[in-house]
Amino acid sequence: MQSFRTEIENISNSKKTLVEKDIIDLEKKILQFNEGNINPEKFRSLRLARGVYGQRQQGVQMIRIKLPFGKISSKQLLRIADISDEYSNGNLHLTTRQDIQIHHVSLNRTPELWAKLEQDDITLREACGNTVRNVTASAEAGIDPNEPFDVSPHAYAVFSYFLRKPFGQELGRKIKIAFSNNDKDTAVTYIHDFGFIPKTENGQRGFKVLIGGGLGAQPFLAQTVFDFLHEDKIIPFIESSIRVFDRYGERASRHKARIKYLINKIGVAEFLKLIAEEEKAILVKEYKIDSEEKETVPQFRAQLPNEIPAINESAYDVWFKTNVFEQKQKGSFGVYIKIQLGNISTSKARELARVSKLYSNATDIRITINQGFLLRDISAEELPFLFNELTKLELATPGFDSVGDITACPGTDTCNLAISNSTNISVELEKVIYAEFPELIYNHDIKIKISGCMNACGQHSLAQIGFHGSSFKVGTNVVPALQVLLGGGTLGNGSGRISDKIIKVASKRGPDVLRKLFDDFEKNAVEGEYFNSYYDKQGKDYFYQLLKPLGDNSTLQPNDYLDWGSDEKFQTAIGVGECAGVVIDLVQTLFFEAEEKLELSAEAFGNEQWGDSIYYTYASFINGAKALLLDKEIHVNTHYGVINDFDKYFVETKELSVETSFKELILQINQNEPTKQFAELYYIEAKEFLQTVKQIRQSNLV
């Protein structure tokens, strides 16, 4: 552990206290877990909130590195590459949420790994689990000629404000937030818990606000709650919403615990009413975001040689047409880099960092939501030199974000929930496109997305052509399969379409599915017709009939019983997923949690963080009450249910005495400003309450 302590010392003093506490706490909990002194479910919840995620292979972890709106510097990229080489397998995986993941990491080494990342201001905190996850945004934000204003400052403000906030640590499910930079909705806000699209009104900056979107096995399109909300109001709105979700959201059944289900259950109007009731209690009523854009003169970095390098002119022309665009800063260009499957080796990552220093803005590389990179601020003169460097690295593949740029989750490579392979099949499908339909690399209308299961980490539900891993039985044999979905996509300005399930086919027939679809579209679509328009015109059954021969299981060949990338007989091996964390219902664990929350409350109070102290106190009330209810074998799904049932079973029966009701006692939280006086009073009341409920439980055990 000496190395770990050394790394802690190297973290900058400005943020050392909070980060050091996080990392040392993780180290202590790992030790307690290894010694059998902490409940495994509790430990899983804790490590997930710190970016440490169990994977399909036993004994190793996936580490998710949280990069707000995908912004990363060349220095940070080098740091992450070093971490992967030292602790992992020399590969970086770019995700659709603009994170970077590394796999096959030993649990015991994660505190040391985290400490090293923090030296370059990189965090794991709340990258997984039932927390506010990474805030995503359009990669083009700040350089797009079509944007009303740069949303990067807003995305960063939301990320930093909600990091470590007590009301966002142990939610019923995760919260995902996205900022699109214009009405094209390139950040797909309509499938997020909170989505923001920039607008201007009377010279003021603000956002169209959407809530309640989500994919998963049951996708929901988000609903508009504000056509315009001033930029200073977005953080108070999110905070109030999360507090409501924490109190009223489902907790027992994780499949019904996303905020989309709560909004669908009570309706938008009631949800907004509950948000209004939180207004007095939230930490800030307005949150000023410094979003003024300053005029910048492009600073081109390279000392260019006299001669342009010898490049393939036709290849350069295709690359320029599909991967390059002129920024709103005249004379500067953005360059997209297609990364197949989002996987890049550490050696290539280091070379990319070097290239970005020579020709791009090395402090502002962006990870895109389709698992690629965007380099910014490149001059026209530098483009051939950059193309030459990228070609040497095999990173100049044309067709970024086109039909040939397939999005895929890791699937059965590492994920517990995956059913069939989503990575090797993606490679095969891209081969079909580039070899047989090369003109489609200019097509940005059709998106192909693949997930290893129905949970949609590969976002198959919003693709014009989507696939998710599945299986079916033929006699006693299990066949790896793909569920084919068609007709999804982004419409713009917060609207979208969820794809329709068409047919299930053996995975090895995936390439033939594409051939059928593209041949039919090429033959029968009207000139200039979009794929979804053609899909709507022909109808779902037309495509079912078109693909039906490929779903004929009587014609299966021996190779169809093998999954892509495997020469062994296929069998499903689904584990327990960790995307949503866990629900902890052990009485002793709940009392421990209640005590821990009071300790955190006292600590926050000592740091004059009155709002945080109050919320930790509220959590102590909830855990203490829930423990006593559970001791009576009363199971409750929501915080609000805990509050009501505690009154019903303990206060109204006189088993426990309070001046009015438990509901009035605990819900003082949204009836008072977050002042020092209230924080102190609330803490004292919670401490007395916890002592009482523990005494009741103890007497029940006698």
- In 3-state terms the chain splits into helix, strand, coil percentages (rounded to 5) of 45, 20, 35
Across 440-454, 600-614, 686-700, least confident range:
686-700
Residue 53: burial class (beta carbons within 10 Å; 0-12, 13-18, 19+): buried
- On whether the 587-701 domain is CATH 3.40.190.10, my answer is no
- Asked if residue 134 has pLDDT above 80, the reply is yes
**DSSP letters of 245-261?**
HHHHS--S-GGG-SHHH
Longest alpha-carbon distance in the chain: 89
User: What mean pLDDT comes out for the span 30-37?
Assistant: 87
Structure token digits, residue 230: 């001033």
Banded pLDDT at 2 (limits 50, 70, 90): very low
No. of helices (H) and no. of strands (E), the chain: 21, 22
Q: What percent of the chain has pLDDT over 90?
A: 75
- Asked if residue 245 has pLDDT above 90, the reply is yes
pTM of the predicted model over 0.85 = yes
Residues near 687 by Cβ (< 8 Å), separated by ≥ 6? 598
Phi, psi for residue 195 in degrees, rounded to 5: -125, 140
Alpha helices in 659-701 (DSSP H): 662-666, 676-701
CA separation for the pair 335, 400 (Å, rounded): 10
Topology of domain 407-561 in CATH is: Sulfite Reductase Hemoprotein; domain 1 (3.30.413)
Banded pLDDT at 8 (limits 50, 70, 90): very low
CA separation for the pair 145, 31 (Å, rounded): 52
DSSP 293: P
Question: How confident is the model at residue 300, as a pLDDT?
Answer: 65
CA separation for the pair 182, 650 (Å, rounded): 53
The CA dihedral of 78, 79, 85, 91, to the nearest 10 degrees, is: -60
DSSP 214: B
Looking at per-residue confidence, does 306 or 246 come out higher?
Answer: 246
The three-state secondary structure class of 106 is coil
Would you kindly state where each structural domain of the chain is located, as residue ranges?
A: 1-71+92-125, 130-290, 313-392, 407-561, 587-701
Across 196-205, 338-347, 410-419, 518-527, least confident range:
410-419
Instruction: Return the CATH number of the domain spanning residue range 313-392.
Output: 3.30.70.3340
Question: How confident is the model at residue 16, as a pLDDT?
Answer: 57
130-290: what CATH class? Answer: alpha beta
Residue 80 CA, chain-centre distance (Å), reads 19
Q: Which pLDDT tens digit goes with each residue over 496-527?
A: 999 999 999 999 999 999 999 999 999 999 99
Asked if the domains at 313-392 and 587-701 fall in one CATH topology, the answer is no
Structure token digits, residue 594: 């209640």
CA separation for the pair 243, 168 (Å, rounded): 8
User: What mean pLDDT comes out for the span 408-426?
Assistant: 87
- The three-state (H, E, C) secondary structure of 562-628, written as one string: ECCCCCCECCCCCCCCCCCCCCCCCHHHHHHHHHHHHHHHHHHHHCCCHHHHHHHHHHHHHHHHHHH
Average pLDDT of the chain, as a whole number = 91
- Asked if residue 108 has pLDDT above 50, the reply is yes
